[in-house]
Amino acid sequence: MSVLESVLSVERPLVKLTNVYKTFHAGTVNEVRPMQGINLDIAEGSFVIVLGGNGSGKSTLLNAMAGSFSIDAGRIEMDGLDVTKWPEHRRASLIGRVFQNPFSGTAPSMSILDNFSLAAKRGKFRGLSWAHSRQLRDELRDRVGGLKMGLEDRMDSTIGSLSGGQRQALTLLMATWLKPRLLLLDEHTAALDPKSADQVIALTDEIIARERLTTLMVTHSMQQAVNLGSRIVMMHKGNLLHDFSTSQKHRLRVEDLLVRFENVRRRELLDESVAKLLRTRYI
């Protein structure tokens, strides 16, 4: 590799979205436009927090990266590859994902061991004998034991028999088992009680730091946003409203984020008032 190629390789973002558009139910009364020309570069090793109100496009952003649907226009690149037209199952070799629902991403009727066996085989051509090998059992026992939830002695228990916090902790371990190039976390603590949410967030931060995972995490929690990650992206009605880099983010407080959202709300109310006045005046 030449010196120029080395420099370009270092500077090239791991994930790059260029002018990405997506509209659902176009031309109907239910039309939703959650992505309106999104441009976003994500450097390798970044931990990006995505904030926004309901309908802002947060989850749609993650779904677009995962390949859950085809975008209307634009380009999505990952790891130097144009994955715009790749189906979801093909992108799975690059992506680990944890959803809001603790049952999503797992097979509830299967045991902890069987679920991890499937996760360990993702993108690999290995038989079930390898998936249930002593090596996997020992490694799994060590990692699950690290959760300090007593699950290392319950490997034959079904995922569906566990509490929400336990399921989500295990799902996070499964999503990061093969160290994905990109980790997507879609409000993965929103359905948990406060204590379980705190446990899963601590585990999330620990795994991301230890494995140096490039991560996008959607959350409604302002406290999580200021405490975690190296960057905050704020979305509103399908657009990137603010992008706080590492140096800016570290100076942010919860109150600062709340002010940003309040300013948007006031501006929209003002715009609506002006529009109403103009309609009244010229009708």
pLDDT at position 148, please? 85
The sign of the torsion formed by the CA atoms of 227, 178, 185, 117 equals negative
Phi, psi of 144 (to 5 degrees): -65, -35
pLDDT at residue 40 tops 90 = yes
Most confident of 120-129, 226-235, 272-281: 226-235
Which of 8-17, 42-51, 77-86 is least confident? Answer: 8-17
228-233: average pLDDT: 94
- Please name which of 176, 233, 248, 245 lies closest in space to residue 206, comparing C-alpha atoms: 176
Domain extent listing, the chain: 13-107+179-252
Mean of pLDDT over the chain: 86
Tell me the two tokens of residue 260: 């940003």
Cβ-contact 94, 78 below 8 angstroms: yes
pLDDT at position 70, please? 96
- Tell me what percent of the residues of the chain surpass a pLDDT of 70: 86
pLDDT at position 271, please? 57
Confidence of residue 246 (pLDDT cuts 50, 70, 90): confident
Q: What is the largest CA-CA distance in the chain?
A: 78
Instruction: Using DSSP, state whether 37 is helix, strand or coil.
Output: strand
pLDDT at residue 9 tops 50 = no
The more confidently predicted of residues 48 and 52 is: 48
pLDDT at position 211, please? 94
- Give the integer Cα–Cα distance in Å for 43 and 243: 14
Q: What confidence tens digit (pLDDT) does each residue in 136-178 have? A: 788 888 888 888 888 888 888 999 899 999 999 999 999 998 8
Q: What confidence tens digit (pLDDT) does each residue in 253-276 have? A: 999 888 888 888 787 776 555 445
pLDDT at position 7, please? 42
Enumerate the H helices of the chain as residue ranges: 3-11, 58-66, 88-91, 112-120, 128-131, 134-145, 164-175, 194-211, 222-227, 246-249, 254-282
Q: What confidence tens digit (pLDDT) does each residue in 75-123 have? A: 999 999 999 999 999 999 899 999 988 778 788 898 888 888 888 776 5
CATH topology of domain 13-107+179-252: Rossmann fold (3.40.50)
DSSP 8-state assignment for residue 112: H
